[in-house]
Structure formats: C-alpha cells, structure tokens
Structure 1
Amino acid sequence: MKKIQKIVFPIDFTRRSTKGAQHVATWARKFDAEVVAVHFIDPEDHDASAPPDNLRFMADLPILTEKATRDLDFFCEQNLASCRVRRIVKMGEKAVAVPLLAQDEKADLVMIPRDHQPWVERFMTDSFTAKMLNECPVPIWTSEHLDDDPSPNIMHILCAVHVEDSVSLDAANERLIQAVRTVASTFGARVTCLYVGEHGSNFLRPDSKFAASISERLEKIHHEVEDISDFEVESGGIARTIHRVAVDKSANLIMTGRSRPGTISLGLQTHILIIDHNGPCPILSML
C-alpha cells in the first residue's frame, strides 16, 4: 500500500454510517485522500427481485434515485464537510457492486462500518461484509464497535502476521508490512508486530520439519520491522490472543492479512469477522 489517495465509503444512512464517517473523515484528512461516498439502491432492500424481473421496482427507480441523491448530499454535508468528496448513487446489489466500484475507481481503501453482531447471528446478518472480505482485492477497514466511540486517531497499531511455509504468504506479509509503515508514518503511530502460533501448529512442534522454516520467516519479519515495531510471539487461539495483546497495548487499529492457504470462503470470513467481533478497535485487512 502506497499513499492512500482514494477511499470508497458505502453509505446506507444508518447510525453505523454516521459513526463510521468520523473515521473516514480522519483518514481522508490525514492522507489528503478523496472520498467516494456511494449509496447503492439494492433491490433486496426493497423486497424486490433483481431487474429486469421486477417491473414495479424499475418504475420506482427514478424516484428512489432522486431521494437517495438528496439524502446523500445531506449526509455528506453533515458528516464529510472537511473532506474532498465525490458522491455516487447507483442501482445494484451492494456485495457485488462495491468491489467492482472499488476496482474501477482504483481505490486504495474501502471503509465499512458494521453493527455489533451477536455470536449466533454474526455470519447470517452481515453477509455484505463477509462477501466483501472474500471478493474485494482492495484493503478493507471495518469495525463493529463504533458505538463504543473508539478514537479515529491512530496512536498504536497491532500488526498480526500469519506465517507458514508458503511463498504466497511471504508476499502477503511483505505487502502488509509496507502498509503498516505507510499508516504508522502518516498517523505518527507506534507499532507492535505479533505472531500467534495456534495450539497444535507446526511452529510449536520442535520435531516438525516446518519449524525451522517458520522460525527463519519470523526472524526475517522481525528484522524488517525492528526499526518501527516491537515484535512478539505468542501461542494460543488467534482471535483471543490478538484481543488480549490489543487491549494490553491500547491499540487503536489492528492490521492483518486475508490470505490463508487451505481455506475457502467461509474460512476467510471467519478469520477476519471473529477478530473484528472480539477486537477492541477497528481492523484493516488486506490481500
């Protein structure tokens, strides 16, 4: 991640959008970035099937678009007045349209505020964020704790790395570290880099043929971040350990990767959404 120049901010006019706007405005001012404030008129939100199968929805679309445009203008004037903002209203399924828009706009960041999710409902009620995490190649900032009023100013970043005997993960960790450098230098934040070895992982088994390889990779990461970061190695459950360390360090942002070998879509959703659910602060994840 180089300098953030464009932020895509999907807006649904709910309380979470208003809370999230405080963070979007802070990031935009810090990076002098343009905000693409977008509202999608999603047929699903109007209990309608996708066009062209629903003639009534298509007939109402001009009125819905006009109202949404006025609402978006008001929202931006109230919440994003300090930023350079471009406003877009389109029709489409959000989970499909937002990743396409982010790529078309060559966005550097997508910021998605979430409602706090009860454990049982977490994956059923926020399929939009889950799909975004799976399908959007752009870094994604998200938080379901905005009602706790976390500070939008970043003073301490917890960078959680995942290490295996994988060249793909090596490349992902390199991208993550460069992104952490960018965010930390822009906000003037301290950094703690964390590796969590899960119970039963190859790293924790000294007889494993992978142990030496993992150790070498951790040493390389330690060397790469030692000028900006403390480096800690812990064992235990990933989400629980990240939460504990984030609380201990008073972290304002967790940064981590979304690339995990051997996982399919649900694995990726679970990895990030559980960290967000348990974490005390927003999380920025990237491929």
Structure 2
Amino acid sequence: MKKIIVPVDFTLHSENALRTASFFAKKYKAEILVVHMLEINTPVISSSPSYVHEQTVFELKLTEKKFGEYLDKPYLKDVKVTPIIKHYKSFSDLHRTAEEEKADLIILSSHGATGIKEMFFGSNAEVVVRNSTVPVLVIKGLPIDEAFKKAVFACDFSNDFIEPFKKAREILAFFECDEMHLLYVNTPGAKFRTTKDKKERIDTFLKKLGTTSKEVNIAEVADFSIEEGILEFAKTNESDLIIMPTHGKHGIEHFFEGSIAEDVVNHAVLPVLTVKM
C-alpha cells in the first residue's frame, strides 16, 4: 500500500480520518494525499468568465491558507503529505481523483450510528462508497491508532464475492489483522437457504479460492435482515472491523439488493471497509 487518500473539509471529523491515515502511513511508509473538494456552485459557473476566474483564484488562495494551518500537525511529522485541491460539481468526482492518483485506499470519517453528516452531509459519503473502485475505510468517532484484531467479512459465498474476498485479505495483511470471519446471514423468505444448499455453496466457494473450511473462519447467523445480522454478529463477536463488498450502481440481486453496504456504513458503530465487486 503506497497511497492513501483522505478527503478533508478542515473539520474535526476529517481530522480524525487524517490521524487514522497518519497511523497507517507511518507504520507502512505510505503517502497521504489530502484532498479538498472545492465546490463549483451553479451561480458562479453561470457568471462571466472574469468573475469565475476571480472567484476561483480567491477560493484557491483561501484553501491553500487553510491547508497550511490544517496540515501543520505534530502527528504528520515524518509522513509524506501531498495536498490536492479539486474542483467538483458532484462529490462522486472523488473516486476519479483516486483512480488518477492510483490510490490504494480512501479513508473518511463519519458520525456513526446516526448516519454520515457534517463532513459529508449524508449522501456524499454514500456516493463515495457507491462509486469508488478503490477500497474505502469509513471510521466512526475517534481516530484509529492501533491495528485491527478481528474482522468480519459479509459474504453469500457466490462467485461475485471471490475477488472482493481476495482484495480484503490483501488489505487485512496490510493492516496486520490476522483474524477474519466470513459471515453468511440467512434471512426468511425467498432468500432462505437450507443447510445442504449453504454447505454446497461454501464448499464450491472455498474450492475456487484453493482453501478449505479448516483454514478460514466461517460463521452463520439467522436474522430478519442482512444488515441486522451483520451488525449483531460484529457486536457479539467483538469484531473491530466490518468488511462490506459493494456493487455500486450495477446491482447484484442475490445478496446486496438496494444499498445494504451503504446502510451498514451509516448504522455501524465500528469502522467499515468497503470493497468493490
């Protein structure tokens, strides 16, 4: 892992993400790309070219000044930090920046169980999670300053989860987290699976990974919804990280219909790592 992107709006919440990034950057000698998304509002865009230029220069100088103060922190000492200012019309543009910079991870902060507000005003963080092809680590509350010990990976053991699982395993190696539980949530209704069906799916999944049930931790819970099952298992299992594969806008019907990954990101009190399918 060489590059970590941290979007900031110069608030305490974004600083928590920056502190978390500095912990991992120091530990693994990664570079932090601190990105401020400078919004281009419609009235300015529709104004005369000279006014647009004047406002752009003003906003850039103001942001550069804020960056100078914001990044002057003791915890960033000995860390390579690159400030980046991007104009945007939609916050989904952040994932394009991550792709352009060939970033390995995006770290952002949220309020936790009440949803993502202030820094990303709800929908913005969800847009990042939904659109990013780069893994996204969403932290809740205080910054992370120690390695993860136990992760739970939500999985339905279909082919769509093979690549996200491999990617998650790579990231956990980077995090030095050596315990991961693959969790299947069995829900009532059309998606309910029998013991025989689940065993066949799990065996096929593990075979394609070139491993066996003796080499991985597999867990199953029954609950009324996938989200509730994941959150309850993470709590009772004393996990400190939830990993959610996310399909973005393309849709994979058999497990993450709608926005389960985004719901977990909003409602979990634990850090959540999302990995694109």
Deviations 1:19-45 (A, max 9, x none): 1112111222233211111112113xx
d(CA) in 1 for partners of 2:141, 2:38: 24
Deviation at 1:66, TM superposition (A): 0.9
Q: 2:220 aligns with which of 228, 233, 244?
A: 233
d(CA) in 2 for partners of 1:35, 1:91: 19
- Identity, % of aligned pairs? 16
1:129-168 aligned within 5 A: 129-143=125-139, 145-147=140-142, 152-164=146-158, 167=159
1:1-287 aligned within 5 A: 4-43=1-40, 48-49=41-42, 52-55=45-48, 56=51, 58-78=53-73, 80-93=76-89, 95-116=91-112, 118=114, 125-143=121-139, 145-147=140-142, 152-164=146-158, 167=159, 169=160, 173-189=161-177, 190-205=179-194, 214-218=201-205, 220=207, 224=211, 229-236=216-223, 237-259=225-247, 261-262=252-253, 267=258, 270-287=259-276
Cα contact 2:152–2:180 (8 A) shared by 1:
yes
Deviations 1:70-124 (A, max 9, x none): 21122222153342111111322351321111111111111121234647999x9
Higher helix proportion: 1
Cα contact 2:4–2:32 (8 A) shared by 1:
yes
Mean CA deviation greater in 236-245 or 78-87: 78-87
Unaligned runs of 5+ in 2: none
AA in 2 matched with 1:242: I
d(CA) in 2 for partners of 1:50, 1:159: 45
Mean CA deviation greater in 134-143 or 33-42: 134-143
SS in 2 for 1:41: strand
SS in 2 for 1:142: strand
Mean CA deviation greater in 103-112 or 210-219: 210-219
SS in 1 for 2:34: strand
When the two chains are superposed, the root-mean-square deviation of aligned CA atoms in Å is 3.2
d(CA) in 1 for partners of 2:9, 2:212: 38
Deviation at 1:284, TM superposition (A): 0.8
Deviation at 1:51, TM superposition (A): 5.3
Task: Quickly say closer, same or farther: Cα 1:198–1:121, change in 2 above 3 A.
Answer: farther
Task: Quickly say closer, same or farther: Cα 1:202–1:239, change in 2 above 3 A.
Answer: closer
Deviation at 1:241, TM superposition (A): 1.6
AA in 2 matched with 1:8: I
Deviations 1:193-251 (A, max 9, x none): 211122225452479xx767534445547973757642112222221121122122322
SS in 2 for 1:35: strand
AA in 1 matched with 2:201: I
SS in 2 for 1:186: helix
d(CA) in 1 for partners of 2:11, 2:186: 39
Q: How many residues align?
A: 266
SS in 1 for 2:42: coil
SS in 2 for 1:159: strand
Task: Quickly say closer, same or farther: Cα 1:19–1:37, change in 2 above 3 A.
Answer: same
AA in 2 matched with 1:214: R
Unaligned runs of 5+ in 1: none
SS in 2 for 1:257: strand
Mean CA deviation greater in 221-230 or 176-185: 221-230
Q: TM-score, normalised by structure 2?
A: 0.81
